[in-house]
Chains A and B, each alone.
Chain A
Amino acid sequence: MSNMMEIKDLQAKIGDKKILNGLNLTLEKGKVHAIMGPNGAGKSTLSKAIVGHYDIEVLGGEILYRGENIVDKEPEERALDGIFLSFQHPVEVAGVNNAYFLRTAVNAKRRHEGKDELNAAEFLREMKKQVETLGMKPDMISRSLNEGFSGGEKKRNEILQMQMLQPDMIVLDEIDSGLDIDALRAVSEGINSMKDGERSFLVITHYSRILDYIKPDYIHVLKDGKIVHTGGPELVAQLEEEGYESLGEA
């Protein structure tokens, strides 16, 4: 099977507002899919539906992950099975040490996979390596999770979590927003280093710049809660020129 995820006729609401209106999307194994679309179209809602956020009520349709419908699965089960979302707005968790948090997550995943847990020293050695590669300040290891982190630092911390957790289906919601030039390069390199021909990526963005680095295979346009157009990388230039209005229903 060459599909990592198939989303079929997904209908979802937040509160009493319907946001996703029969969304169809197939994500292939080993490929990078980018989603672009206007503000408020439902991109973050889609990403949250994939990870099982409590705000979102799925009214119909299915999300097949490696052939299995995960709509009723708990968020932590989805994560343990290899789904990862880098949040558009990661929350701050005062009092929870970043390293302790991430080790708990990594070890939960290792247990789930029948592997031995990492002890503090083994884990910290690995974390320190990744922190350096991402150009993060070393004190972020022992600070509280995202507390007082700048916007860019939070995004790097999301990438750090991705690298430590080694997920299979990676959703990145505006990972490039608010990043300076160096950070954008570091984050893109982090993402590229995860490409192994197996993992799938869903990259939500408003800008072509990150796509220059991470070279998507497909571009999808999400509008009014649906995918309205799908094309190759050449679509980016067209969208930049003409905007979303030019695209009719696919």
Chain B
Amino acid sequence: MKLSDLKQRTASEILAAFGRDGAAAKSAETLEKMGLPSKKTEAYRYGDIEAVLEMDLTIASEPKPAEILPSVQLIITDGVVTHAPASVKLGYSKAIPADQGHFDPLYHLGHVASPGVWEIEIQDEVYLHIIHRFTKPTSLIPYRLAVHVTPGSHAAVYEQFIDTGATGSLVLYGYDLFVGRDATLKMVKNQTLDSGSYQMVASHRCEVGSAATLDLATFDFGSASALQMMQIALGAHAHVEASHLLYASGSAKRGTVSKILHIGEGSTSNQQAKSILGEKARGIFDALIKVEHSARYTKAHQNSKAILLESGAYMASRPQLEIYIDELEASHGSTTGQLDGKQLFYLQSRGISAVEAKRMLIQAFANELIDAVDGEMIREILHRDFDEAFYGQTRVECIETCHGCEEVVLNEGV
């Protein structure tokens, strides 16, 4: 099928196209009202959604598997959980109450097209490593998670994506994330995606409960097109810290479209995007922060910095603030440019080649977000994956990423 076949269809026809019963009816109705996205849809103006809707695909989703094997990681293969750790409570529902106010039509499509929703409950001290595996070529792979972080708990999620043969497939993934009152969730997403692989539109919704914190760091590298859409709602005194590092090359159209909604009083947000764009890549950071009447004493900060490595590269950066109150502190900014000539010269004047000096500065630009991630292991993986995407090989120097030797040497004779 082609997703474009669903244009102008009624809700019940859309449900029928995916063999769904009434459980996802609300989402189908919302989708019918919004219509499928086109070039003219706000959220998709910088992507290439029409080409995505024209992909000729076989629906790959299967019902729930007979057996889920125990494992250290949660492994999801082509949208089906195949392995799960004992530390999380896992369930499967036909549908969950989706957010009918979500800005993204494909969020609603995801809820209709996914055969069900994997429900994951995360409790205190849990560290969950999710591996998303894709194996089927030219398939439509729709699936969704609902992640509940129990109130008061402190947990972390690390998401990794692996392609083993999903060439030409379209993945419609997304989670509905609920961070309970007073809870903290640190979430890291690491996705290298190169052309010749699958494409992905991930569409998320996050509800951050009162006095809860969501710390979301996304790392997107490679030459394939992909979008992450996210709507994040903040309760009273809730906080979101979102950072997005993008390295895109080739003719990728890649990036983040987000809406952060300040609903509760005293909620705070800080969103930072850094993009490095090579060749003919287009980076996207289309991000709205909306402060509702109810959200007095809000703090909202947003910033985008991009480096264009080649003249064909382009950054579509639109940080936006929409504010309905006076009592708040807010800022936003956006810069796009080349590497700093003075810094380059300084390195070269010490005998470092122009090529190497550029690499060092690009790495420095990226390192700020990588080094802010918790956990030595994850940081090393992110450094390695960035290097692999950027240089086509690993060239992590021990001195940059690990301070092991440094500590040994510095403590010698002390």
B350 A124 Cβ-Cβ under 8 A = no
Q: Does B8 belong to the interface (CB within 8 Å)? A: no
B: contact size bracket: 20 to 34
Residue of A nearest to B357 (CB): A76
* CB proximity of A52 to chain B, nearest CB, Å: 8
B352 A108 Cβ-Cβ under 8 A = yes
Q: Pick from B350, B356, B364, B368: contact of A161, CB below 8 A.
A: B350
A67-84 interface mask toward B, CB cutoff 8 Å, 1 = contact, 0 = none? 000000011101110000
Assembly CA distance A124 to B343 (angstroms): 23
Question: Looking at chain B's contact residues, is the secondary structure mostly helix, strand, loop, or mixed?
Answer: helix
Assembly CA distance A112 to B352 (angstroms): 11
Which residues of A, 93-125, contact B by the 8 Å Cβ criterion? 93-97, 99-105, 108-109, 112, 120-121, 124-125
| Given contacts A95-B368, A104-B356, A53 and B410 within 8 Å (CB-CB) | no
Binds A, one of B64-72, B153-161, B401-409: B401-409
B348 A121 Cβ-Cβ under 8 A = no
B338-362 interface mask toward A, CB cutoff 8 Å, 1 = contact, 0 = none? 0011110111111111101100110
A75 B408 Cβ-Cβ under 8 A = no
Residue of B nearest to A52 (CB): B349
A93 B364 Cβ-Cβ under 8 A = yes
Residue of A nearest to B404 (CB): A120
| Given contacts A95-B364, A100-B397, A104-B360, A128 and B352 within 8 Å (CB-CB) | no
Residue of A nearest to B364 (CB): A95
B349 A94 Cβ-Cβ under 8 A = no
Q: Does B4 belong to the interface (CB within 8 Å)? A: no
| Given contacts A108-B353, A124-B405, A141-B406, A95 and B367 within 8 Å (CB-CB) | yes
B343 A142 Cβ-Cβ under 8 A = no
Interface size on A, residues (CB 8 A): 40
Q: Does B44 belong to the interface (CB within 8 Å)? A: no
B345 A75 Cβ-Cβ under 8 A = yes
B403 A142 Cβ-Cβ under 8 A = yes
Q: Does B365 belong to the interface (CB within 8 Å)? A: yes
Assembly CA distance A101 to B356 (angstroms): 11
Report A's interface with B, CB cutoff 8 A: 51-54, 74-76, 78-80, 85, 87, 90-91, 93-97, 99-105, 108-109, 112, 120-121, 124-125, 128, 138, 141-142, 144, 161, 165
Contacts A76-B353, A93-B346, A102-B350 known; list 8 others, CB within 8 Å: A53-B349, A76-B348, A79-B349, A79-B351, A94-B364, A100-B399, A100-B400, A120-B405
Report B's interface with A, CB cutoff 8 A: 340-343, 345-354, 356-357, 360-361, 363-365, 367-368, 397-400, 403, 405-406, 408-410, 412
